[in-house]
């Protein structure tokens, strides 16, 4: 399924080298102020430009095709379309027959019975993260307009290639003509205590589910995460300091029993390095022979540096759905103000 969420439902569409990509959003409350200008800052943050990012230059022009009237959402499905302007498919011609290891190429070939769009990773491309960012903008606007207490979403790259000196690590990777991954820390503050629907629609479960949709994310941990497995109970237990849930160390990363526990929700993501450069060992889909694929296309030396805004967006999308599931955000926001306009 290409749809995320129960009430605030998000589907992505488009391919890296097709005419456009975008997000189809159902279940957004009516009355949320929304315009194309709202998307500019976050899409610019996701775009390339920093040292070590791709040479592809997209303007990321947004078109609100449906679901918005007179500057407010109507409650009908919202289609956000983002044009693909800087497309160079020539470098990807060989991928039709030679799938890249570590990419969706081979499983997508088999899944589609040979009908996949191979250009630039097709529907599995990192380009689709622009649509995730757009959905995050809608979710944040809806949360802001819903008169719930402010919820903040923050993410940052804290390590690249195992080093905290990100600029130096990326510069060195670029100099060597290689690529590096990174660790992103995410933080959501202001979630109401008790948010989350155990056993299955837990805060950890839904966030991880959505974060793993970001191409290249290979690990997610909350709080102490894997360190819990190494520490004894008396080393890693926390202390509750207040009825509202405030803990001394927040070792659980803000989630206990699948529900927000009154502390910041804190998680870490492992992002892998780009692998599609130089010579790749693979097989020919037409002959079955082992072959070497020489990649000449454009790749990021450290695409992880483009992902914090995507992580924030995904966190906002999941949060809005959880807030709707728990009844804290309804069908309509700002109703009286909206009605007085007509
Ligand atoms: C913004 C962005 C840019 C990416 N650029 C590249 C790239 O240049 N080369 C590459 O090998 N992978 C790149 N990736 C990662 C691949 O898309 C990803 O590894 C691949 O689709 C397989 O998915 P998986 O790693 O989650 O299993 C990028 C991902 C994102 C989100």
Domain contains 303:
yes
Residue 48 lies in a domain: yes
Tell me what pLDDT residue 190 has: 97
Ligand 1: distance of its center to the CA of 242 in Å? Answer: 43
Closest residue (by CA) to atom 2 of ligand 1? 126
217 domain residue, yes or no: yes
pLDDT (tens digit per residue) in 55-98: 567 789 999 999 999 999 999 999 999 999 877 777 788 999 99
| Model confidence band, residue 29 (pLDDT cutoffs 50, 70, 90) | very high
Instruction: Compute the CA torsion angle 197, 202, 207, 213 (nearest 10 deg).
Output: -90
What's the CA-to-centroid distance between 299 and ligand 1, angstroms? 9
Q: What residue ranges line ligand 1, CB within 6 angstroms?
A: 54, 102-104, 121, 124, 126, 129, 214-217, 272, 274-276, 299-300, 303, 306
Share of the chain above pLDDT 70, in %: 94
Tally of structural domains, the chain: 1
285 vs 95: CA distance, rounded Å:
10
More confident residue, 53 or 222: 222
Examine residue 341 and state whether it is found in any structural domain, yes or no: no
The CATH number of whichever domain residue 62 belongs to comes to: 3.60.150.10
Ligand 1 mutation target, pool 54, 179, 216, 276, most atoms within 8 A of CB: 216
- Residue 58's pLDDT is 73
Look at residue 340 and tell me if it is in a domain: no
Out of 72-81, 199-208, 273-282, 298-307, least confident range: 298-307
In a domain, 110, yes or no: yes
Nearest to 334 by CA among 91, 83, 71: 71
Distance 6 CA to ligand 1 centre (A): 27
Q: Are 156 and 279 in contact (CB under 8 A)?
A: no
Measured CA to CA, the distance from residue 244 to residue 209 in angstroms comes to 27
Supply the pLDDT for residue 342.
42
In terms of residue numbers, what domain contains 239? 3-330
Mutational test site, ligand 1, from 103, 123, 309, max ligand atoms within 8 Å of CB: 103
Question: Using one digit for the tens of pLDDT, what is the confidence trace for 256-277?
Answer: 999 999 999 999 999 999 999 9
Beta carbons of 170 and 301 less than 8 angstroms apart: yes
- The residues with which 78 forms a beta bridge, in sequence order, are 25
Residue 310 lies in a domain: yes
CA atoms within 13 A on the CB side of 302: 30
Question: CA angle at residue 106 from 277 to 181, to 5 degrees?
Answer: 40
Whether 222 is in a domain gets the answer yes
């Amino acid at each position: 399924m290409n749809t995320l969420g129960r009430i605030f439902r998000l589907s992505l569409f488009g391919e890296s080298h097709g005419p456009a990509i975008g997000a189809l959003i159902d279940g957004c409350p009516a009355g949320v102020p929304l315009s194309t200008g709202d998307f500019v800052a976050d899409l610019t943050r996701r775009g390339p430009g920093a040292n070590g990012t791709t040479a592809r230059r997209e303007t990321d022009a947004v078109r609100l095709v449906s679901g918005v009237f007179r500057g407010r959402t109507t409650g009908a499905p919202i289609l956000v379309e983002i044009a693909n302007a800087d497309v160079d498919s020539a470098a990807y011609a060989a991928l039709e027959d030679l799938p890249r290891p570590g990419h969706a190429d081979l499983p997508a070939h088999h899944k589609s019975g040979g009908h996949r769009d191979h250009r630039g990773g097709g529907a599995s491309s990192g380009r689709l993260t622009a649509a995730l960012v757009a959905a995050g903008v809608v979710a944040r606007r809806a949360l802001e307009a819903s008169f719930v207490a402010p919820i903040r979403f923050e993410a940052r790259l804290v390590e690249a290639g195992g080093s905290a000196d990100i600029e130096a690590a990326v510069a060195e990777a670029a100099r060597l003509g290689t690529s590096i991954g990174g660790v992103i820390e995410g933080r959501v503050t202001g979630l109401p205590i008790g948010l989350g629907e155990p056993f299955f629609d837990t805060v950890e479960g839904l966030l991880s589910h959505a974060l793993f949709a970001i191409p290249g994310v290979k690990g997610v941990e909350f709080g102490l995460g894997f360190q819990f497995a190494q520490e004894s109970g008396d080393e890693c237990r926390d202390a509750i300091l207040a009825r509202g849930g405030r803990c001394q160390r927040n070792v659980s990363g803000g989630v206990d029993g699948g529900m927000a526990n009154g502390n910041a929700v804190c998680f870490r993501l492992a992002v892998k390095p780009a692998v599609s450069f130089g010579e790749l060992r693979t097989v020919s889909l037409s002959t079955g022979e082992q072959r070497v694929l020489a990649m000449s296309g454009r790749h990021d030396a450290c695409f992880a540096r483009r992902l914090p805004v995507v992580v924030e967006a995904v966190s906002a999308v999941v949060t809005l759905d959880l807030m709707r599931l728990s009844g804290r955000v309804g069908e309509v926001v700002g109703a009286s103000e909206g009605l007085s306009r007509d």
